[in-house]
Copies of this chain bind each other. A is one copy, B any other.
Amino acid sequence: MSNSIKLAILGLGTVGTGVIHLINDNLDELKRRCGRDIIITEVGTRRQRDDIDTNIMQNSDLMAIAASDNVDIVIEVIGGTTLAKDVIMQAIQHGKHVVTANKALLAEHGNEIFAYAEANNVHVAYEAAVAGGIPIIKVMREALAANKIDWLAGIINGTGNFIMTEMRDKGRPFADVLVEAQELGYAEADPTFDVEGIDAAHKLALLASIAFGVPLQFDSVYCEGITGITLQDVSYAEELGYRIKHLGFAVRRDGNGDSDAAGIELRVHPTLIPQDALLANVNGVKNAVLVNSHPLGQTLYCGDGAGAGATASAVMADVMDLVRVLGSKDNNNQSHSDQKNHGHHVPHLAFIPEQLSDTPILRAEQMITGYYLRVHAYDSPGVLADITRILSDAGINIDAILQKPAHKVGQVPVIILTLPVVESQMNLAIEKIEKLDTITDKVVRIRLDELA
C-alpha cells in the first residue's frame, strides 16, 4: 500500500521481538482497525540477525535509523538513559514520532524530551513505560480527562508484587523468594531497581504528572523498598485484616492547617491495605492501578505489567494512535508536515504544557498516612499505657491494638494500627517510644492506607 506506516524498531530484546511477533500475528486485525498497512522497514540491532524478515533493513547505527527517510515512527526499546536519549532526540529532530517503553529515561529526562517533541511538532508516546500492558496512560490522559484526580495507588512493579505474594501465600522469607524471582527471570541479577522501589518511583513520577498536571519530578519521589519486610509483619497484618503490598502513591493534598501542608505526595513504600480491597487481591507479577477521581470515584485497572506480549501490546497501541494522528487514507496525499499538525493531540503530560502547575511535592515529614507499628517491650506493667500516652500526646489516634504472647523470654510484641497522621508527628512519637526503658528494639513501622 502506498499509504503504509513505516516503523523502525530500535532494539531487538524481549520487547522489540515481541513487537515483531505481534505485528506478524495480528496484521490482518491491525489493518481492519486502522485501514492502513503497518510495516517494519528498519530494525536497530548490534549484530546481524538471521531470524528477521529479509525485507527489513538491519542496521547497527541507531542514529542513522532515527534520521531515516524510510521511517515514520521510531520505536525505542533499547532501554537505558544515554544512547536511548540520543536516538529519541535524533528522531524528534528529524520529525519522527517516537514510541518508547523507557520509564527511567522519561522519568529523569521527560521534561526536556517532551518540550523538544512539542517544539518539533511530533509526539513521544509512552504507554508501555508504566504498568506494561495496562493502558493506564491512555486512561488517565483521556478517559479520566474530565475528572479531578485526588489520588492514585498502584502496584507498579511486578517483581515486588511477586515477592510479596509468595511471602504471604507460602510463608517464605524475602531472600528465598528473591532468588526464585531471579531464576524465573522476573528480577534482574541486580534486583535493586525492583526491590528498592526505584523502578516503581520512575513510573509513579510519570503517573503523578499526568494525574495532577505537574512537571516530572522523579527526584522528589519518596522511596522505600521491601527488603525489610518480615514474615512476622506479613502475618500480623493478615491477622488484623490487612495485606502488605508494595505500592506507589500520588496524592493531592489541599492542605487545611498548620501541619497539613498543601501539595503532592509522591511515595513508594510497603503498605497495609484492607484484605478485601481488590488491590490486595492482585497477585503474582500482575500490576494494578487504583485511581480516585471526582466525580467518577474509584476505578481499578489490572493486568500484566511486564513481558513481551503485554509490552508489545502497549507499544503498538501507541503506534495505532499515531497512525490515526498521521491521518486517514484521504489525508495521505498531504505533505508530511501537514499531517503532523492534524487533529487529535493529547498533551504529553495530559495537561497543555503552559498549564502545568508548580504545586510543590511534599517532603517526607509532611506526608500523611496511617501506620502499622510493631513495638517490642519488656512485659512489665504500664508499658502499654506509656506507649498509648505518647501516641495520644502526639495527637495520634489508635485504630487497633494487638498484643501477642511473648516470643522471646520476657519480650512482648505489641502491634498498633493508627489513623492517618503527619509523618513528623509520628517521627517524634516513635523517638519517644524508643527512649522508654521498657522498649527493647527499634520500632518497626509500615504505612497503612484504607484506600477509602
Write the residues of chain A forming the contact surface with B, with a CB cutoff of 8 angstroms. 18, 21-22, 25-26, 29-35, 127, 133-135, 138-139, 142-148, 213, 276, 278, 281-282, 293-304, 307-310, 312-314, 316-317, 319-321, 324-325, 327-328, 330-331, 341-347, 350-352, 355, 357
Contacts and interface: CB of A to CB of B under 8 A. Distances in A.
A143 B347 CA distance: 17
Contact of A296 (B145, B310, B319): B310
A240 B69 CA distance: 61
Given A133-B296, A313-B295, A148 B304 contact: no
Contacts of A295: 18, 21-22, 25-26, 308-310, 312-313
A335 to B, nearest CB: 15
Contact of A32 (B35, B325, B351): B351
Contacts of A133: 296-297, 299
A127 B145 CA distance: 13
Nearest to A307: B297
Contacts of A327: 343
Contacts of A22: 146, 295
Contacts of A347: 33
B302 A299 contact: yes
A297 B303 contact: yes
B352 A32 contact: yes
Contacts of A294: 25-26, 309
A319 B146 contact: yes
Contacts of A328: 345
11 contacts: A26-B146, A26-B148, A33-B355, A134-B299, A142-B321, A278-B282, A281-B281, A296-B313, A299-B303, A302-B302, A324-B343
A34 B34 CA distance: 25
B320 A142 contact: yes
Given A278-B282, A297-B133, A145 B18 contact: no
A66 to B, nearest CB: 22
Q: Which of A34, A145, A309, A355 has the most CB of B within 10 A?
A: A145
A137 B29 CA distance: 17
A316 B375 CA distance: 50
Contacts of A319: 146
B299 A145 contact: no
A168 to B, nearest CB: 13
Q: Which of A296, A301, A327, A357 has the most CB of B within 10 A?
A: A296
A310 B325 CA distance: 28
A145 B127 CA distance: 13
A321 B139 CA distance: 12
Nearest to A32: B355
A256 to B, nearest CB: 19
Given A29-B148, A133-B296, A295-B312, 8 more contacts: A21-B295, A35-B352, A135-B139, A139-B139, A142-B317, A278-B302, A300-B301, A301-B301
A294 B327 CA distance: 26
Contacts of A34: 145, 352
A187 B393 CA distance: 49
Nearest to A322: B344
A313 B310 CA distance: 27
A299 B301 CA distance: 7
Contacts of A325: 343-344
Contacts of A35: 352, 355
A33 B139 contact: no
A312 B319 CA distance: 29
A165 B299 CA distance: 19
Contacts of A300: 300-303
A135 B146 contact: no
A303 B296 contact: yes
Given A325-B343, A344-B324, A310 B297 contact: yes
A181 B144 CA distance: 28
A317 B352 contact: no
A150 B135 CA distance: 18
Contacts of A321: 142, 145, 344
Contacts of A330: 341
Q: Which of A307, A320, A325, A357 has the most CB of B within 10 A?
A: A320
